[in-house]
Amino acid sequence: MDIRPIHTETDYKATLKEISALMESDPDLGTPEGDRLDILATLVQAYEAKHVPITAPDPVEAIKFRMDQSGLSVKDLEPMIGKSNRVYEVLSRKRPLTLAMIRRLHKSLGIPADVLIAETAAG
């Protein structure tokens, strides 16, 4: 089992390609292929933790994601944001979230407050 650390982007891409091939064959745990997949996945996780920073989502994208995830409509957001025209303004980035909106969205939808108070990307 010739496995080396991931040092470069080229190593990273090659390892992802090998992981993909191993996943296609769906090896059983405890087999040489299954162990190889486990080790390569661990190496990729370590490389990504160091080289691929995960940024917090944009507040509007977080709201849209939660809406999609929970099957919510604009009407469902009215108790948290206001009338439908205000909801549309927030979702189109024409109106910023207020502190009261952030509190209600956090409490009702469970979106972390630190995500909701982040800067909104220009739409």
Q: pLDDT tens-digit profile of 41-100?
A: 999 999 998 898 877 789 999 999 999 999 999 999 999 999 999 999 999 999 999 999
Structure tokens given for 66: 């939660």
User: What is the C-alpha separation between 92 and 17, in angstroms, rounded?
Assistant: 38
> Do 102 and 63 meet the contact criterion of CB atoms below 8 Å apart?
no
For 12, how many CA atoms within 13 A lie in the half-sphere containing its CB? 12
DSSP annotation of 122 reads P
**Band of pLDDT at residue 10, cut at 50, 70 and 90:** very high
User: Is the pLDDT score of 123 beyond 60?
Assistant: no
Residue at 92 is within a domain:
yes
Residue 16 has a pLDDT of 95
What Rg do the C-alpha atoms of the chain give, in angstroms?
21
User: Is the pLDDT score of 109 beyond 60?
Assistant: yes
Q: Domain residues for 102? A: 59-116
112 and 64 co-located in one domain: yes
Query: For the whole model, what pTM was predicted?
Result: 0.58
73 and 101 co-located in one domain: yes
Residue 1 has a pLDDT of 64
